[in-house]
Amino acid sequence: MVRQTKILMTIGPASMDKLDLLLSKVEGVRMNFSHGDHAGHLREIKAVREISKDLPLMLDTAGPEIRITEALKVGKEPVSLKKLKTSVPLSVCGSDTLIVDDGKFRVHVLEDGLVCQKEGTLRRGAKVICHGKDINLPTLTKRDIADIKFGVNEGIDMVALSFVRTPEDVIETNTLLRDLGAEDVAVIVKIEHWKALENLREIIRLSDGVMVARGDLAVEVPYQQVPTLQKKLVKMALEMRRPTIVATQMLHSMMTCPTPTRAELSDIANAVLDGADAVMLSGETSLGQYPVEAVEVMNTMVQEAEKEVRMNLPPRTITEELALSAKTIAEKMGAQLFCETNTGRTARRIAKFRPSVPIYVKTPTPRRARQLRLLWGVQQGLPDKGYVVHVEHLADHPGIKVEYKGPVLARGETYGTGMVVGVVGKGVVRLDGRNKQLPEQALGVLYYGKENDPLLQGCIRKGIPAIIPNQQVENGVPVIVDFDFGMVIQNDNYRYESLLNRFPQLRGPRYPSF
């Protein structure tokens, strides 16, 4: 079974000695630039590229974060605010609440100091957020700019922009990439700040994709709102044809345990059913004790959930109508989808409607091909043998045509519909004007004669499909005769006699498809 929803893993110390195995099971690699230095990330990039040149590399920026620089014990007794040392001075006042270390501590700012109902130590490096207040820092910090420049020089494919707050943040990042000569690097906006929710549609419109970063989002907004926000974000991005990645603690228990919790399995399934293009593993693969097992569990769960994916989004434009038509044709034929795209827009139009058949994409650059690997349903390589629904550039010169990849022995005018599988001379009968009658067990007819011959007219009256081929096909050749598209296709994998033994109903007057 081909998995349609993609898996993105975070690289780290726990995965470096298992990269060969891990990279064979995922569709993308994330590097967390909140931790580590350029030398360490360069080792990660080289390690990935030595194994695979086809996987996209995502640079996840640190963003405008404030971290504790000296450990501090807190509790019910007030602690002087002056003792709280942070990477950036905090602007707080009485009644403010500080969320520390991803919500592990809620520290209240009072006139006589800092108070926390939970006693403990605020560790060095823990992130600090002032609940409900924006910080006076740019979304794209000096550190982020230096990191992006480094990443562009080393061939990254995507930038995950942390703590996006306004559309201008996305514009600024795109401008930086253009100035670096890397305008084809995709910008994935991380929705994790309350202020982004005020400008959601415009932020998504300007982006190349969306990450639902549930960790910080659950700190910035009431945690009970996160599940519904996830559904809203995925649906909005899907309607706008932007791929979505659902991230954070999807298999968090597997950092220390080889098996997941039941709630985590439901979490993965819900992300797939919501319509996410990809699901992401963070600490599970970068720091956890069971990185390979975590990927395998996610793969199994995703495939199971995909069986129930049902998307009925209405098309909003003529190009989307064409994309939906291509999807419908391919599913009814059991065909593969193939599209040519420069920007990825044609592939995104098709993927929006979540076809159950694979999508193959041809792009002009390796970077674009790597980026599209995180799009729902897109598979690596080109279509193999079989039917292919070829979708041409929908925005420029749209077109849809059905092709067959493989040996086509003959083409011709057909009379009747459906498909017949058999061997010429056994089931599929060769006839010409010299024949006087139609064999009783004919499933289909290759007629080498004239259109107005009585024998051909007799086939039509009896409902037996016929084709007038433009090439001779000899007796004994196993074939598939497609009467809808007028093709006689060589079928080397077919054993007619064994099928007759297994399926005696094939001996009936007509078997249109198998």
pLDDT at 433: 66
pLDDT at 498 over 70: no
Interval 292-348: pLDDT, tens: 999 999 999 999 999 998 888 999 998 999 999 999 999 988 899 999 888 999 999
* Of the candidate ranges 156-160, 192-196, 496-500, the one whose mean pLDDT is the lowest: 496-500
Return the higher-pLDDT residue of 66 and 177: 177
Q: Both tokens of residue 272?
A: 């797939």
135 close to 121: Cβ distance less than 8 angstroms:
no
pTM, rounded to two decimals: 0.84
Residue type, 170: V
Interval 9-51: pLDDT, tens: 999 999 999 999 999 999 999 999 999 999 999 999 999 999 9
Rounded average pLDDT over 229-236: 96
**Confidence tier at 82 by pLDDT (50, 70, 90):** confident
Q: Please give the share of the chain, as a percent, with pLDDT higher than 90.
A: 61
Compute φ and ψ for 367, nearest 5 degrees.
-65, -45
CA distances (Å), origin 326, targets 115, 160, 417, 432, 485:
61, 32, 20, 37, 16
CA distances (Å), origin 458, targets 367, 415, 436, 437, 451:
58, 11, 11, 9, 11
pLDDT at 43: 97
**Confidence tier at 493 by pLDDT (50, 70, 90):** low
348 is catalytic: no
In this structure, which topology does domain 408-507 adopt according to CATH?
A: Glucose Oxidase; domain 1 (3.50.30)
What 3-state DSSP class applies to 96?
coil
**Rg of the chain on CA atoms, in Å:** 29
From 3, 25, 67, 106, active-site residue: 67
Rounded average pLDDT over 472-498: 78
From 6, 30, 165, 349, active-site residue: 30
Other CB atoms within 10 Å distance of the CB of residue 486 = 17
Q: Which CATH architecture has domain 6-62+138-306?
A: Alpha-Beta Barrel (3.20)
pLDDT at 96 over 80: yes
The residue among 241, 183, 186, 242 whose CA lies nearest residue 212 is: 242
pLDDT at 404: 83
30 is catalytic: yes
The contacts found for 78-81 with CB under 8 angstroms, 24 or more apart, are 78/110, 78/112, 78/113, 78/114, 78/115, 79/113, 79/114, 79/115, 80/113, 80/114, 81/109, 81/113, 81/114
In order, the DSSP letters of 32-92 are ETTSS-HHHHHHHHHHHHHH-SSS-EEEE---S-EEBSS-EEESSS-B-GGG--BSS----
Interval 349-402: pLDDT, tens: 999 999 999 999 999 999 999 999 999 999 988 888 788 999 987 777 778 888
* Of the candidate ranges 238-242, 412-416, 430-434, the one whose mean pLDDT is the lowest: 430-434
Q: Both tokens of residue 377?
A: 């349903």
248 is catalytic: yes
303 close to 30: Cβ distance less than 8 angstroms:
no
Sheet with 105-110, strands from edge to edge, namely 66-67, 127-130, 97-100, 105-110, 113-116
CA dist., res. 434 & res. 443, Å (int) = 20
**Confidence tier at 496 by pLDDT (50, 70, 90):** very low
**Confidence tier at 97 by pLDDT (50, 70, 90):** confident
Rounded average pLDDT over 109-128: 89
For residue 424, give the H/E element and its range. Answer: strand 419-424
From 10, 248, 341, 363, active-site residue: 248
67 is catalytic: yes
Domain boundaries, the chain: 6-62+138-306, 66-130, 318-404, 408-507
**Confidence tier at 1 by pLDDT (50, 70, 90):** low
Q: Both tokens of residue 124?
A: 């060095």
Q: Both tokens of residue 99?
A: 């969320």
From 190, 352, 367, 370, active-site residue: 190
pLDDT at 438: 75
The residue among 53, 27, 6 whose CA lies nearest residue 377 is: 6
pLDDT at 508 over 50: no
Torsion of CA 292, 294, 300, 303, to 10 degrees: -110
Tell me, yes or no, if the two domains 318-404 and 408-507 fold the same way: no
pLDDT at 453: 85
341 close to 362: Cβ distance less than 8 angstroms:
yes
pLDDT at 494: 53
The CATH number of domain 318-404 is 3.40.1380.20: yes
CA dist., res. 465 & res. 445, Å (int) = 6
Mean per-residue pLDDT over the chain, rounded? 89
Interval 426-476: pLDDT, tens: 878 888 767 777 777 788 899 898 888 888 888 888 888 999 999 999 888
